[in-house]
Structure 1
Amino acid sequence: MKRIHNPHIEDNTSWDIIIIGGGATGLGTALDATTRGLKTLLVEQSDFAKGTSSRSTKLVHGGVRYLAQGDINLVKHALEERGLLQQNAAHLVNKEEFIIPCYSWFSIIKYLSGLTIYDWLSGKYSFGKSKFLSKSETLKLMPEIKSKGLKGAIRYFDGKFDDARLAINIAQTAIKHGATLLNYTKVIALKKQDETVTGIETENVLTGKENTFTGKVVINATGVFVDDILKMNNPASKNMVRPSQGVHIVLDKSFLNTESALMIPKTSDGRVLFAVPWHKHLLVGTTDTPINEHSLEPKALKEEVDFILATASSYFNRKPTENDILSVFSGLRPLAAPTNNDGNSTKEISRDHKLLISAKGLITITGGKWTTYRRMAEETVDLAINHAHLVAKDCITRTLKINGCTDFRDGSYLDIYGSDKEKIEELMRTEADLCEKLHPDFPYNKAEVVWAIKNEMAETIEDILSRRLRVLFIDAKAAMEMAPVVAAILAKALHTDKDWEQQQVEIFNNLASNYIHTNSKQKQAILTE
């Protein structure tokens, strides 16, 4: 089986579109551009979806809270895209039942009215009709929520997905249609002629090799890093983005003991919190904390974790504590920078995307959310075509199936691979040792690691255990226990030695320790076990 990884590209290759950033927006833009017949290159400084795009609340949704804010167009467009995404990535996007517990009759009227509008806005892409549930019906569906004072609940439907897996499948789809995608390729400078941006200069962060790529238009789709790219063009440019940190914790599924998701409509700071069943665990979040710095590995603040635990405790019968947290992770939202003087508020910062020409030959796209990635990409490529006078076909992504898309499922955990499932099963049949599990508490096996290396451009332990198998985000300690087995498979595939193998395990364990919410002495004990 030939391995899919960074291809060798000559510097003198000329591209129609060069995209910087391998998150949801960048990958979507690459897919849109290449399917219009444009010669497309995408570069990502780390792994695909390393940042924000692997750290979402795992919802494909219109945004109930945006409806409350009166942003009808944003919600309507997102609901349409939710429907398209479910059709085009049926193996990854699932309909999810959400329960809003109500402890007053007024809240029942309020939320049922709002969600009836939400259903109406979805039109032909509806996932199901909202309805009132009695107290007994609510507790039957979700037995572990607080029953004292409960009047009933509102049930509504939205989508749930695996964000990083979708990113990889979009990348595969783009490659199949002719795009060239390079991960671990960092932009170190913009190439310019007079005042026009004509390309990029890059460095491969794994090998140190530098390259220069020329393109007719460069797309800056780097999320919270957009200002870094803009300052390469103009060091005096004002910041376009103000990052907001969202934290999630993962608990044992028994805390809710249900297949339904919980939506807490109004937390103590006036926001929304979700508790969503995900990979046989319970994902709880998120926070919304304005910060001044951005990084590839943002760290959860203690007050953010405390806030999630306190909010969950007010709804759960069994109150979760710090010791119950299996993993904690943070993501940074690239919100439009505020223009007022209240630098600590994120409530008025735009959640919609922003698209603009930053300089001749340079287009910037930022903001938005996973659900609307396809629409954002279409608008971005439309602008690029007009700006650079490119000759291109019409957009086809509304009906384009993402790699792996299939409606067939047999209940196996391998269903998440969609139509690629058969190929992984074939690997297991041809090499018996690949059937071995990576950990006794998880279903994942060695064949999936080999598949990720050969077909999903995984280069490191983190790529595999964080974004291909998602274990780091589910149970950080278990991920550390799997690391040596994964390192050995990687070393064999990449033809490296035992020293490299051990070094990779140490690098991963240091990273994974940040996903364990405990004190420094306990972390050190885990690292030295």
Structure 2
Amino acid sequence: MLGNEKKYSESLFNRATLAKQLEQTDLEWDVIVIGGGATGLGVGIDAASRGYRTLLLEQADFAKGTSSRSTKLVHGGVRYLAQGDISLVYEALYERGLLLQNAPHLVHVQPFVIPSYSLWDKMFYGIGLKVYDWMAGRYRFQKTSLVGKDTVINLLPNVRRDGLKGGIVYYDGQFDDARLAVNMAQTCVEQGGVVLNYMRVEGLVKDQQGKVVGVEACDLESGRKYKLKAKVVVNATGVFVNDILQMDVPKQHPLVRPSQGVHVVVDRSFLKRDNALMLPKTPDGRVLFAVPWHGHVLLGTTDTPLNENSLEPTALETEIDFILHTAGQYLERKPTRQDVLSVFAGLRPLAAPTKDAGSTKEISRSHKLIVAASGLITITGGKWTTYRKMAEDTIDKAIAVGKLVSRPCNTTNLRIHGAVSEKSNILKPLLYYGTDAAGVEALVAQHPALGNKLHRSFSHIGAEVVWAVRHEMARTVEDVLARRLRVLFLNAKAAIEMAPQVAALMAGEMGKDEEWQQEQVRDFIKLANRYLLEPYNSAAPAAVNHI
């Protein structure tokens, strides 16, 4: 511990305190949610905010899988409009507006530029995006405009100029996905729910009639086993829904087929401005984005059907080459492998077709809600933007399945933890903490050494690591560098160099020894090298004094 200020053990979002509630063997939960990604956390918030006794269990860290590996867009889905999925676009545009309203510290309006190399494309996409604006109604961000060649070059200085006819400027949303997930977990607890990471569900509990009446879970930190009772169990495990379904009915047909999306991260100089590049149709028919994010640029994404799931999927060389090659066709300065700072892959949980399909274009992006004969509820498909609506539909169904006292959904105007209306008093590096920024600043005021930067290339300071442990349930160096500070996703080499210092700060806060620190650093270096095109093992020695 650092001093006599409010202790980690006193935090509302404290894992040990929350886990104690599982020791009440006679306790029956109204709703147990399996899965701590966007969908599961949304379901947890909805259930808890309606007053139901809610427990959420995540086998790893919150948003460890798909939910931390998105394109960082809160959007209606321009591509879905082109495919004629009008209802999905309407729903997503409405939910996009609610996210900006309820999590303004993490969601902001992002201008996009579509460069046009034919007048037909300019008119076609321009009209389509005018319709996109109209569909958003009162939740429209800003008005789409058709612009000339000089304006496009001004907005995207690195855009390919040969053959450029002009372009379209439109507006969508951008956010920090893993940070939002952490704040959602905190929101669920504030609403009376219990959420726990590193708590793996290993089986379903059934009564004599074959109805699901609970789960068997294992605390991966302590090894302790639990048998937990519930009126209704929700399977919200993303690409892992099939695993839970097979605990219910072994060998049943898969409900989900994963599709891999890969992103390549390069320096912000490839865009130079804060405008994003959107290519609605690449030569092979895909969509490609170049999006500014946390001072870097994300290039992606791919759409590759897979048959296997993983918490740490690996980008294929063909996917990396596709992204670099395609981006290079539209940029004057072409990104190369030497420019890549990090590569990350994520698996989208797409509802699987009943027949074998080689393309994910044939797999639905809409969410699906299924109730098994055992009463197990499974929610799958969908996307980050629509998590709130997915949760509302799920709990509406849970009320009927679990015979819960009916209560209306109230998440439409429920502000997410950290939401702040006025950002002017928050230091820029801490903006995404929202109302929690004052707490981070207070740590620095009490212990000035915690104001030191963790790395020359990033603004992050030691106080953020302490805050992550005390108030954001970070348990490992990976939790901090991947999902609390996001450095692993932005610059994997820098993350490796930060690892020893982060481990030392965490050890001082959590009461861990030198062996724990060394193991954490070794494990993190091994992981981080999966985000690099060439191995890198140079981690500077820790130089942190425990205060």
**TM-score over 0.5 for the alignment?**
yes
Q: TM-score, structure 1 length as denominator?
A: 0.97
Do the aligned residues in 2 keep the contact of 1:36 with 1:392 (CA within 8 Å)?
no
Partner residue of 1:452 out of 463, 468, 471: 468
Q: Report whether the alignment pairs 1:71 with 2:85.
A: yes
Aligned equivalents of 2:331 and 2:350: distance in 1?
31
- Report the 3-state secondary structure (helix = DSSP H, G, I; strand = E; otherwise coil) of the residue aligned with 1:94: strand
Q: Does 1:207 align with 2:222?
A: yes
- Secondary structure at the aligned position of 2:292 is classed as strand
Match of 1:181 among 179, 188, 195: 195
Deviations 1:97-141 (A, max 9, x none): 000000000001100110011000000000011111100111111
Q: Are 2:48 and 2:188, in contact at CA under 8 Å, matched by a contact in 1?
A: yes
Q: CA deviation at 1:358?
A: 1.9
1:126 and 2:136 aligned:
no
Residue from 493, 506, 526 that aligns with 1:490: 506
- The separation in 2 between residues aligned to 1:28 and 1:13, in whole angstroms, is 23
Maintained 8 Å contact 1:18/1:219? yes
The answer on 1:288 being equivalent to 2:277 is no
TM-score (norm 2): 0.94
SS of match in other structure, 1:296? coil
Query: Distance between the aligned counterparts of 2:58 and 2:283, measured in 1?
Result: 38
- Secondary structure of the 1:320 match is coil
Of stretches 28-37 and 351-360 in structure 1, the one that deviates more from structure 2 is 351-360
Matched, 1:474 2:490: yes
Q: 1:232 and 2:247 equivalent?
A: yes
Corresponding position of 1:155: 169
Structure 1 distance, partners of 2:376, 2:160, is 53
Report the Cα offset of residue 492 of structure 1. Answer: 1.3
Pick from 199, 220, 232: which aligns with 2:235? 220
- Report the Cα distance in structure 2 between the residues aligned to 1:527 and 1:35, rounded to whole angstroms: 44
Q: Cα gap change, 1:356/1:402 in structure 2, threshold over 3 Å: closer, same or farther?
A: same
Instruction: Spell out the pairing of 1:96-135 with structure 2 (5 A cutoff).
Output: 96-135=110-149
The alpha-carbon deviation at position 171 of structure 1 amounts to 0.6
For the residue of structure 1 that corresponds to 2:506, the secondary structure is: helix
- Deviation digits for residues 157-200 of structure 1, max 9, x if unmatched? 00000000000111101101110001000011111113101100
Partner of 1:347: 361
1:373 and 2:387 correspond: yes
> Which residue pairs with 2:319 in the alignment?
304
Q: Which residue of 2 aligns with 1:255?
A: 270
Aligned-pair distance for 1:527? 7.3
Q: Specify every segment of 5 or more residues in structure 2 that has no aligned partner in the other structure, as ranges.
A: 1-5, 9-13, 542-547
- 2:378 maps to what in 1? 364
Partner deviation per Cα, 1:252-292 (whole Å, 9 max, x = no partner): 00011111000011112211111100000001110000011
Relative distance call for 1:216 and 1:180 in structure 2 (3 A) is: same
Match 2:454 to one of 438, 441, 445: 438
CA deviations over 1:369-390 (Å, ceiling 9, x no partner): 0000000000000000011110
1:89 aligns with 2:99: no
Instruction: Give the alignment partner of residue 506 of structure 1, picking from 512, 518, 522.
Output: 522
CA distance in 1 between counterparts of 2:77 and 2:457 reads 34
In structure 1, what is the Cα distance between the partners aligned to 2:405 and 2:286? 45
Query: Residues of 2 paired with 1:197 and 1:500: CA distance?
Result: 39
Q: Partner of 1:326 in structure 2? A: 341
Counterparts of 1:469 and 1:392, CA distance in 2: 40
Structure 2 distance, partners of 1:312, 1:356, is 40
Residues 268-287 of structure 1 aligned to structure 2 (within 5 Å): 268-287=283-302
Q: Which ranges in structure 1 are unaligned for 5 or more consecutive residues?
A: none
Would you say 1:426 and 2:452 are equivalent positions? no
Letter in 1 for 2:503: A
Residue in 2 aligned with 1:388?
402
Q: 1:403-434: per-residue Cα shift (whole Å, max 9, x none)?
A: 11113223612011011111111111111111
Deviations 1:234-260 (A, max 9, x none): 103110011000000100000111110
Q: How does 1:386-425 map to 2 (within 5 A)?
A: 386-410=400-424, 412-425=428-441
Task: Give the Cα separation in 1 of the matches to 2:27 and 2:119.
Answer: 65
1: CA distance, partners of 2:364 / 2:288? 19
Distance 2:492 2:170 in 1: 32
Shift of 1:525: 5.6
CA distance in 1, matches of 2:82, 2:429: 36
Task: Report the count of equivalent residues.
Answer: 524
Give the AA of the match of 1:277: P
The residue type paired with residue 295 of structure 1 is S
Question: Could you tell me which amino acid in structure 1 is paired with residue 522 of structure 2?
Answer: E
Q: Is the 8 A contact 2:492 2:532 kept in 1?
A: yes
Give structure 1 regions of 4+ aligned residues with deviation exceeding 3 angstroms.
524-529
Distance in 1 of aligned mates of 2:27 and 2:299: 46
Q: Does 1:60 align with 2:74?
A: yes
> Which amino acid is 1:99 matched to?
V
**AA partner of residue 148 (structure 2):** S
1:525–1:461 distance in 2 versus 1, CA, 3 Å: closer
Question: What's 2:3 paired with?
Answer: none
- 8 Å contact kept, 1:38–1:392: no
Distance 2:27 2:264 in 1: 45
Q: 1:334 to 1:409 in 2, by over 3 A?
A: same
Whole-Å separation in 2 of the counterparts to 1:264 and 1:358: 41
The C-alpha deviation readout for 1:194-237, integer Å capped at 9, x for no partner, is 31011000111122111111000000000000000000011031
Q: CA RMSD in A?
A: 1.2
Is the CA contact 1:513–1:527 (under 8 Å) kept in the aligned structure 2? Answer: no
Q: Aligned letter for 2:235?
A: N
Amino acid at match of 2:299: V
Q: Does 1:27 align with 2:27?
A: no
Instruction: Please list the CA deviations of residues 473-499 of structure 1 after superposition, one character each: whole Å capped at 9, or x if unmatched.
Output: 000000000000110111112211101
Q: How far, CA to CA, are the matches of 1:393 and 1:37 in structure 2?
A: 8
Q: 2:481 aligns with which of 465, 479, 494?
A: 465
- The aligned residue for residue 544 of structure 2 is none
* Aligned partner of residue 96 in structure 1, secondary structure: strand
How many angstroms does 1:526 deviate by? 4.9
